[in-house]
Amino acid sequence: MKVLFFFILSTAWTLIGAQHYYQGLMDYLENRLLAIEDRMQLWRDQFHHYHIETLDFKKLTAEVMDGLRKEHGLIAKDLEGAAERMDRVEREMEYVESQTSPRACAKQADKVVEQEAWGPQEREEEEEEDWTELHSRVSDCADIFSSIRSVKILKRVGSPKGMWTTDPRSSKVYVFNGTSGDTVFQFSSVRDFSRSLGVSNSKIIKLPSEWSGAGGAVYNGYLYYIKQHADTDVQIVKYDLFSGSVTDTAIFPVESRASLYKLNPETTADLAADDEGLWLLYASSDSEPNISLAKMDASTLDIEETWDTRCPREKAEAAFVICGTVYVVYNTRLASRSRVECLFDVNDVVISEEAPLLYFPRRYGSHASLKYNPGEKQLYGWDDGYQIIYRLTTKRKVLA
């Protein structure tokens, strides 16, 4: 009996202790749940706050974007107006320059060529007279390049390397895309070229043979180019742009088809035109460190005289000729700022050592070609696919 009593008592005590344990556990869990609910409520409040801030920020961003779009539209209209005014200014300047240019005394036949209305017979009759006038100006040509007055980046079209130029007798533009090919793109003017989509508005000229390098030239209605040739000799082709036929070719013997400019190894010879006529820059051999110069008869392609310019080919990227003075432009392997470091005057009036170092403005890469137009006093440069116009300032040579 006593044993049963103690058993019941211990069992009851155990049950009471277990009830207290479970009650404490339940209280703990309830408190934890309440804490979690409070935390979740805090998160809800914070999320709601952040959501409201995000909506406000989105609304503010939309308002700012609308304002920027309106300002962009106003700026675009201002730029269009400025572009139109610039076009008018350029047209007026071109008109003034055409009236005051030293070449404004060109004969009426020059204007007829520009309008492509010159018959074969009339052209033949005027050609001799034009050449007489051209050579009469040789002794009067005494300009020297002194600085770059302005730079105009016209557009970007074509390969990283190429050449574009104009004929001093007309406003037509000729584009040689790449370093070889048989196609030349002709535009009626620089403005037409700048406004065209790529070369879509051009007249396509198919040459009878491929040209090589960026050394072509357009002079007095003829296109002169270096023919793609497997032999060591440099072959020059004279192509009549009016009749669309080859009128003459010439072989210029050299020891090897060495690169004229070390930074543009595709160019083995470079034709240049100035007030005094047609010139040929070349490398006489691969072992010759300097650039050589030849004066050519533009009519017959005969070589009249040759010189060693003493300007090194190493680090040279391009060259141009003004009034019988060769200006060689140099750069570095990792393209930096181009500069004229060497010049050679066939009349020995200007000495390279006494000439100032002339820098070109920073651009995109390095020049693949530079072509001078003596009538406009402008350089047409090809830089990493960009077509650039440099307007030059010249001064008179100081004669001894």
When the pLDDT of each residue in the chain is averaged and rounded to a whole number, the result is 81
CA–CA distance, 7 with 306 (Å, rounded to integer): 133
* pLDDT > 80? residue 319: yes
Q: Which of 328, 340, 347 is nearest to 283 (CA)?
A: 328
Taking residues 323-345, what's their average pLDDT? 88
- Model confidence over 170-226: pLDDT tens digits? 889 999 999 899 999 999 999 999 998 888 889 999 999 998 889 999 999 999 999
Q: What is the DSSP string of 286-338?
A: TT--EEEEEEE-TTT--EEEEEEEEEESTTEEEEEEETTEEEEEE--SS----
The last residue of one of the domains, among 59, 79, 99, is 79
- Model confidence over 344-383: pLDDT tens digits? 999 887 776 667 678 888 767 789 999 999 888 999 999 9
Question: Are 246 and 369 part of one and the same domain?
Answer: yes
CATH number of the CATH domain containing 213: 2.40.128.630
* pLDDT > 50? residue 125: no
Question: Are 54 and 157 part of one and the same domain?
Answer: no
Tell me the CB-side half-sphere exposure of residue 65, using CA atoms within 13 A: 6
CB 342 within 8 A of CB 328: yes
Does a structural domain hold residue 96? no
Lowest mean pLDDT among 1-10, 77-86, 257-266, 348-357: 1-10
Does a structural domain hold residue 104? no
CA–CA distance, 286 with 58 (Å, rounded to integer): 67
Among all chains, which residue has been given the structure tokens 């370093």?
179
Domain count, the chain: 2
Does a structural domain hold residue 99? no
Residue-number span of the structural domain to which 218 is assigned: 143-396
Q: What is the pTM of this model?
A: 0.65
Question: Are 321 and 196 part of one and the same domain?
Answer: yes
CA–CA distance, 130 with 152 (Å, rounded to integer): 32
Does a structural domain hold residue 262? yes
More confident of the two residues 91 and 145? 145
